[in-house]
A and B are shown apart, each in its own frame.
Chain A
Amino acid sequence: MRRRTLLATSAATMLLAACGNGDDEGGENGAAPAIEGDENAPATIVFWSWAENIQTVVDLWNSKNPTQQVQLSGQAASDELVSKFLTASKAGNAPDVIQAEYQALPTLITNNALQDITSVIDPIKGAFAEGTWNLTSFSGATYAIPQDVGPMMLFYREDIFTEMGFSVPKTWEEFGVLAKAVRAKDPAKYLTTFSPGDAGWLAGFAQQAGANWWSNANDAWKVGINDEATKKMLAFWSGLVNAGDLLGDPMYTPQWNSQMSDGTIIAWPSAVWGAGVLAGVTPGTKGKWKVAPLPQWSASENVTGFWGGSSTGVAASSKQKAPAAKFARWITADPEAVAALVKIGLYPAATVGQGADMLGNAPEYMSNQPDYYTTAAAIAKTARGFDSWGPNTNVAYGAFEDLLPTAVKNKTDFAAVADQVQTTSVDDLKKQGYQVA
C-alpha cells in the first residue's frame, strides 16, 4: 500500500511537470545562463543515444507531440560518443539532446558542450532519489537528468552455494572468509574474479566504502582517490587476489564467459543490469543465479555504489534548448516514458520506475527470484555516489586501468596504485589550470 501511495504522489508530481508551462524558467541565479524561449514552440530535435531499441520511446514522444518531432540518431559505443559529440560541437553540428554516461559529464561540461539546465528541472527533481540526482549535479548546477542507473549488488550461484553449504556473505569480512572456504572445499572453483581493468566497477566499490574521489569547495578541487576508504577497499581485494583466494582475470572475456557458465566462478559483484549480461553470457545457468545486497564494510551498514548508468542532457550549441530540455525531462521522468525505458531493458533512474509495479515480475532469466525487482529497488535506495565526478575522471580511470592490471600480474599491493592515480590526477588537473586544494 505504501508503495502505491508513493507511486501515486510521484505520478502526480510528474503530471504537474508535464503540464508545467515553463513558469520556472528564467534563471534567477545569475551565474547560470538561462534557457530561453518557448518550450512548446515547434521544433525538430536531434537526439543521440546508444541504447538499444530506444526508437520505440522516441516514437511514443513523436506520436504525442506532432509539432515537436525528435529524430533519433543511433550512435555506437558510449565512450566513442563523447569524442564524437565533442568533435561535432566544435564543428557546429552537434545534436540537441545527448545520452551520456555519468562519468563523462565533467568532460562534456568543461569542454563547454553541455547546457546548464538548472533553471528548468525543478518540476521533476522530486522524481529521483537524492543520491541519484547528485550524479548529474556539479557545484549546485545541473547539467543532465539521470536516465538509468546501475546500483551494485551481488549475483551468486544459488545452486552451488546450497550444494557446498555456504551462505551469502553479509560483510566483506565474511566474503573474504568465504573466498578461502571455496578454495579449500573445491580447488577448481573461485568465489569471484577481481577484474582490474574496469575503473567504473572499482569506483562503485569505492563509493560503497565511503570514498569521495572528487569534491569541489570554494572553487578548488579536492581529489581523494587515495583516501582511507579507497585504500581499505583496494587492500582488501589485494590480500585475497595476491593470496590466490580470488582470480585476478578480466571480466567479459571468452574465458570469463566459460568460467561463469561452468561454475568455476560462483559469484559476481555487479549492478542491477547484470541479469541481462548473465542471460547473454551464460544462458545455460538460467534460474540458478540469485541476487543479494553487496557485502558491507560493517554489519550495521547498508550502502552500495553505482556501476554504469547514463543521463540525458541538452547540448550547449542547441538552438532550441527549451523544447530540447522538455524532451529530456520527459524521457527521463515521465511515467509513460519510464515505462517504455523499462520495456527496452533499462533500469530507470526515476524512483517511479524502480518498483515491481512498473518493472513487473523478475526478468525471465531470474525466474527463481520472483522478488528480483523489489530487492533491486530496495538496494537502489541505499546507493551513494561521490560528491561529484572530477573534471578529469577519464584520466583517473585511464591511470587505474593502466596500473591495476600490472599490480595484479606482479602481485603488488593494490592500495599503492591509488597513490599513483592520485598523483597522476592531481598533476593533470594542475597542468590544465584547475585549482587543487
Chain B
Amino acid sequence: MTTVSRRRRRGPGAAPYLMALPAVVLFIAFFLIPIGYAIWLSLHAMRVRGKGFGVRTEVFVGMENYVTAITDSAMYEALVRMLAYGVIMVPVTMGLALSFALMLDVPRVGLKGFTRISIFLPYAVPGVIASVLWGFTYLPAVSPITRAFTELGLPAPDFFGDVSIYFSIANIAIWGSVGFNMVVLYTALRAMPAEVYEAAKIDGASEWQIAWRIKIPLLAPALIMTSVFSLIGMLQVFSEPNTVKSVTNSITPDWVPLMRIYQQAFIENDVYLGSATSVLLALVTVLLSLAALAVFRLRARRSA
C-alpha cells in the first residue's frame, strides 16, 4: 500500500488534470450538456390542461416523439431529396477540387496565385449571401442568364424545374466549397517530396501519368478527409435551400432534413419533436461518417 502511494506522489501529480481541465470543462459545457438537454427535451412534450385555450405544461412522454419522428413521411421525402442533392454535390465538388488542384500543381502554369485566389474566393462568401445572389440569377424576370438565352433566340432554362432544382441548389454549394477543398488538396500536393516526381520524370512519365499514378494515390488521405467533409456538408444542407425557398414554389419548407427539423421546432413550435428528430439525424450522421471513413480507409489500404 505504501509503495503505491509513494509511487503516485512521485508521478506528475495534478498538473495534467489541470491542463486538461479547460478542454474538459468546455467539452462538458458546450457539447455534453446541450446534447443531454436535447435528449431530455426529446422525451418530453407540451400537453394542454384545462379548457378553451388551456395551459400548456411540460410532461414526460417517453418515446412518443421518436415514434412520431420515425413515422414522419415528410422526413423520408426530405432525406430522398437530400440524397438527390448529395449525388450531384459531393462528386462534382470533389471532382472539380481535385482537377483544379492537379492543374495548379502542374509546373509552368501561369497566373497561379490569381487563379487560386479566384477559385477560393467564393468560399469566403457566406452561404446565405451566395444563395441570395444565385437565387437572383435563377429568377427568370431578372436573370442575366435567361436574358442572354432570349437575346440569342434560344429557349431559356428553367432553374426551378422538378429536376433542375437539385442542380440549381447543388450549384450554389459547389460554387462555395470547391475552393476550400481545392486548397486542402493543393496544400497536400505541395507538401509531397519533389524527389518522387523527379524519379517519375526520369522514368519517362508524362504529367498525366504522374497525376494518375503518383499524385492521386498519394493524395488519398487528403481526399478521404475532404470527401467526409463534403458528405457531412450534404447532411447539414440548410441555408441554400432555405434561402432560395422564398423565391420559388419548388422548395417546400421541409425540403431537406434540417429544414424539416427547423419547421418542427420553430414554425410548429414543437421543440420537443424537433429535438427527437435532431437526435436521430445526429445518430445517422455519425454512423454515415464512420461508414464512409471505413470504406475509404479500406480502399486506401487496398490500393496502397
**Contact of A428 with B268 in the complex, beta carbons under 8 Å:** yes
Binds A, one of B13-21, B184-192, B229-237, B243-251: B243-251
Q: Which residue of A lies closest to B136 (CB)?
A: A254
The CA of A252 and the CA of B247, in the complex, are separated in Å by 8
Binds A, one of B50-58, B80-88, B96-104: B50-58
**Contact of B254 with A402 in the complex, beta carbons under 8 Å:** yes
- The answer, yes or no, to whether A138 is at the interface (CB within 8 Å) is yes
Partner pick for A112 among B52, B55, B253, B269, CB 8 A cutoff: B55
Residues of B whose CB lies within 8 Å of any CB of A are 46-49, 51-56, 135-136, 139-142, 246-250, 252-254, 263, 266-269
**Contact of A398 with B253 in the complex, beta carbons under 8 Å:** yes
Which residues of A have CB within 8 Å of B51?
219, 435
Which residues of B have CB within 8 Å of A109?
53
- The answer, yes or no, to whether A258 is at the interface (CB within 8 Å) is yes
**Contact of A110 with B267 in the complex, beta carbons under 8 Å:** no
> Using an 8 Å CB-CB cutoff, how does the interface string of A195-213 with B read, 1 for contact, 0 for none?
0110000000000000000
- The answer, yes or no, to whether A63 is at the interface (CB within 8 Å) is no
Which residues of B have CB within 8 Å of A398?
253, 263, 267-268
Given contacts A86-B269, A398-B253, A398-B263, 4 further A-B contacts (CB under 8 A): A255-B140, A258-B142, A391-B53, A434-B54
The CA of A348 and the CA of B215, in the complex, are separated in Å by 70
Q: Which residue of B lies closest to A259 (CB)?
A: B141
The CA of A139 and the CA of B251, in the complex, are separated in Å by 38
Determine which residue in A196, A248, A428, A433 has the highest number of CB atoms from chain B within 10 A of its CB, and name it. A433
- The answer, yes or no, to whether A406 is at the interface (CB within 8 Å) is yes
Which residues of A have CB within 8 Å of B249?
196-197, 248-250, 405-406, 408-409
- The answer, yes or no, to whether A107 is at the interface (CB within 8 Å) is yes
Which residues of A have CB within 8 Å of B247?
250, 253-255
> Using an 8 Å CB-CB cutoff, how does the interface string of A172-209 with B read, 1 for contact, 0 for none?
00000000000000000000000011000000000000
The CA of A403 and the CA of B268, in the complex, are separated in Å by 15
Which residues of B have CB within 8 Å of A252?
246
How near does chain B come to A348, taking the closest CB pair, in angstroms?
A: 27
The B-contacting residues of A in range 390-437, CB under 8 angstroms, are 391-392, 394-395, 397-398, 401-403, 405-406, 408-409, 428, 432-435
Residues of A whose CB lies within 8 Å of any CB of B are 83, 86, 106-107, 109-112, 138-139, 196-197, 216, 219, 248-250, 252-255, 258-259, 264, 391-392, 394-395, 397-398, 401-403, 405-406, 408-409, 428, 432-435
The CA of A266 and the CA of B225, in the complex, are separated in Å by 54
* Interchain residue pairs A-B with the least CB separation, the first 5: A219-B51, A405-B249, A433-B48, A255-B139, A253-B247
**Contact of B54 with A402 in the complex, beta carbons under 8 Å:** no
Which residues of B have CB within 8 Å of A264?
141
In the complex, number of A-B residue pairs with CB atoms less than 8 Å apart: 93
Determine which residue in A219, A252, A253 has the highest number of CB atoms from chain B within 10 A of its CB, and name it. A253
Q: Which residue of B lies closest to A111 (CB)?
A: B56
**Contact of B48 with A255 in the complex, beta carbons under 8 Å:** no
The CA of A408 and the CA of B206, in the complex, are separated in Å by 56
How near does chain A come to B165, taking the closest CB pair, in angstroms?
A: 10
**Contact of A432 with B48 in the complex, beta carbons under 8 Å:** yes
Determine which residue in A86, A216, A249 has the highest number of CB atoms from chain B within 10 A of its CB, and name it. A249
User: What are some 18 contacts across the A-B interface (CB < 8 A)?
Assistant: A110-B54, A111-B46, A112-B56, A138-B53, A196-B249, A197-B249, A248-B249, A250-B246, A250-B248, A253-B139, A255-B142, A392-B268, A394-B267, A395-B268, A398-B263, A406-B249, A432-B46, A433-B54
Q: Which residue of B lies closest to A106 (CB)?
A: B53
Which residues of A have CB within 8 Å of B49?
433
**Contact of A394 with B269 in the complex, beta carbons under 8 Å:** yes
How near does chain A come to B234, taking the closest CB pair, in angstroms?
A: 23
Which residues of B have CB within 8 Å of A435?
51
How near does chain B come to A408, taking the closest CB pair, in angstroms?
A: 5
The CA of A421 and the CA of B55, in the complex, are separated in Å by 24
**Contact of B253 with A401 in the complex, beta carbons under 8 Å:** yes
Q: Which residue of A lies closest to B267 (CB)?
A: A398
The CA of A403 and the CA of B74, in the complex, are separated in Å by 12
The CA of A408 and the CA of B48, in the complex, are separated in Å by 35
The CA of A86 and the CA of B135, in the complex, are separated in Å by 33
How near does chain B come to A23, taking the closest CB pair, in angstroms?
A: 28
Partner pick for B246 among A111, A196, A216, A253, CB 8 A cutoff: A253
**Contact of A405 with B252 in the complex, beta carbons under 8 Å:** yes
How near does chain B come to A235, taking the closest CB pair, in angstroms?
A: 19
The CA of A402 and the CA of B252, in the complex, are separated in Å by 5
The CA of A197 and the CA of B242, in the complex, are separated in Å by 13
**Contact of B52 with A139 in the complex, beta carbons under 8 Å:** yes
Which residues of B have CB within 8 Å of A139?
52-53
Which residues of A have CB within 8 Å of B269?
83, 86, 107, 394-395
**Contact of A258 with B246 in the complex, beta carbons under 8 Å:** no
**Contact of B268 with A110 in the complex, beta carbons under 8 Å:** no
**Contact of B54 with A394 in the complex, beta carbons under 8 Å:** no
Q: Which residue of B lies closest to A139 (CB)?
A: B52
The CA of A395 and the CA of B142, in the complex, are separated in Å by 33
Partner pick for A110 among B55, B136, B246, CB 8 A cutoff: B55
The CA of A255 and the CA of B51, in the complex, are separated in Å by 47
The CA of A435 and the CA of B50, in the complex, are separated in Å by 10
Which residues of A have CB within 8 Å of B52?
138-139, 216, 219
